[in-house]
Amino acid sequence: MKAGLVVKETDELVKQAGKKFLKWLEQKGFEVIQRRKKDFDNPPVPISPPDDTDIIFVLGGDGTFLSAARWTGRKNIPLMGIKFGDVGFLAETEEKQLYQAVERVLKGDCSIEKRMRFNVSLLRKNETVFSQMALNEAVIGKSGPSGLARIDIKIDSYHLTTYAGDGLIISTPTGSTAYSLAAGGPVVHPLMEAMLLVPICPFTLTNRPLIIHDKNIITVTLSSKSVFPLKLSVDGQKEADVYRDDIIIIEKSYPVHLVTMSGETYYDVLKTRLKWSGERI
């Protein structure tokens, strides 16, 4: 069997756990391909995991998981996240349950969820100058404190509105518990067929969060009255500047395949991560 391994390298505890886990996988007969942070910044060959990779293990937090998801590209390789730290929705398995959970996965005691992603393309003078897939969100926002970002939104060919404020978050259901939630957006079940539009500090109180169908195509442009350039950020990891005549196209793309443990639900994860009170019935 062949496994990918992505480890949060900025945390010494996680690095040591990763080294131990790597040896354990090799003892189990796995051929392990380890992806390091420097490889994401300056991709060597292979840029993506080999086609015959059976699973990718991700040790760290949500940021590490998002990097690993970007590494898979369009390939249907399942990702299993092991959470190190306090908060994280993508890495479901706790650090202390690592080996027990992986043993269960090797026995088939797990399931695979398809999590929706969308592609974010930035067009300038009819040329694509930036293109990334997002598992959590795309954020279009101000790069400084002054002025208003005025962002025109079209849903398919229909002009919806102009959002005025600090910016706009366009989120997947998976990303609804990330920046979107902090900006006042709703929590959306990750298997729903939807996208979220969540304004950041809107100037007009009637600009409220909106949930649309994931089959819609979103077109984003800057109003002539907007401060610019704005900053486009995808999953908090890839960025580009957005100028007056640029066009951003957002549309549904290839999903990520996520390993989930049998007997656990999304609501278990939600309740634990958000520290909701009350007994489980």
pLDDT per position as a tens digit, 165-187: 999 999 999 999 999 999 999 99
Q: Verify that 61 and 183 share a domain, yes or no.
A: no
Structural domain contains residue 279: no
Please tell me the distance from the alpha carbon of residue 255 to that of residue 259, in angstroms, as a whole number.
13
Annotated catalytic residue 62: yes
Same domain? 130 vs 226: yes
Q: Is residue 281 part of a domain?
A: no
* Annotated catalytic residue within 39, 51, 52, 62: 62
User: What's the pTM value of the predicted model, to 2 decimals?
Assistant: 0.92
195-205 pLDDT, tens digit per residue, is: 999 999 999 88
Please tell me whether residues 47 and 77 are part of one structural domain: yes
What are the residues whose beta carbons fall under 8 Å from the beta carbon of 39, sequence distance 6 or more? none
Which of the four pLDDT bands, split at 50, 70 and 90, describes residue 91?
A: confident
Q: Decide if 142 is inside a domain.
A: yes
Q: Is the pLDDT of residue 140 over 60?
A: yes
Residues 6+ apart with CB under 8 A from 174: 89, 90, 115, 116, 135, 136, 190
Give the chain's domain count. Answer: 2
Q: Are residues 87 and 132 in the same domain?
A: no
pLDDT, greater one: 21 or 274:
21
Phi/psi of residue 100, each to 5°?
-60, -45
Q: What is the mean pLDDT of residues 226-234?
A: 96
Q: In this structure, are 238 and 267 located in the same domain?
A: no
Average of pLDDT values for 244-263?
A: 94
**pLDDT at residue number 2:** 96
Same domain, 39 and 110: yes
CA distance to 9, 49, 102, 182, 186, per residue, from 214 (Å): 34, 27, 33, 22, 16
Residue 247's closest CA among 138, 125, 118, 148?
125
Mark whether 61 and 92 lie in a shared domain.
Answer: yes
Residue 130 domain flag:
yes
Assess if residue 278 is contained within a domain: no
33: domain CATH number?
3.40.50.10330
Long-range contacts of 260-268 (CB under 8 A, 24+ apart): 260/92, 260/110, 260/111, 260/112, 260/113, 261/92, 261/93, 261/101, 261/104, 261/109, 261/110, 262/104, 262/109, 262/110, 262/111, 264/92, 266/189, 266/190, 266/191
Separation of alpha carbons 251 and 241, rounded Å = 20
Q: How far is CA 263 from CA 111, 127, 272, 277, in A?
A: 10, 48, 15, 21
What is the residue range of 156's domain?
A: 118-252
Q: Is the pLDDT of residue 212 over 80?
A: yes
Residues 128, 168 within the same domain:
yes
Q: What is the pLDDT of residue 116?
A: 97
Tokens of 42: 């300056």
Distances (CA, A) of 83 to 17, 65, 87, 107, 206: 12, 9, 8, 21, 38
Q: Are residues 186 and 248 in the same domain?
A: yes
| pLDDT of amino acid 45 | 41
* Residues 129, 78 share a domain: no
Taking only the tens place, the pLDDT of each residue in 4-29 is: 999 998 999 999 999 999 999 999 99
The CATH number covering residue 234 comes to 2.60.200.30
Residue 41's pLDDT is 55
- Same-domain status, 13 and 106: yes
Higher pLDDT, 143 or 141: 141
CB 267 within 8 A of CB 276: no
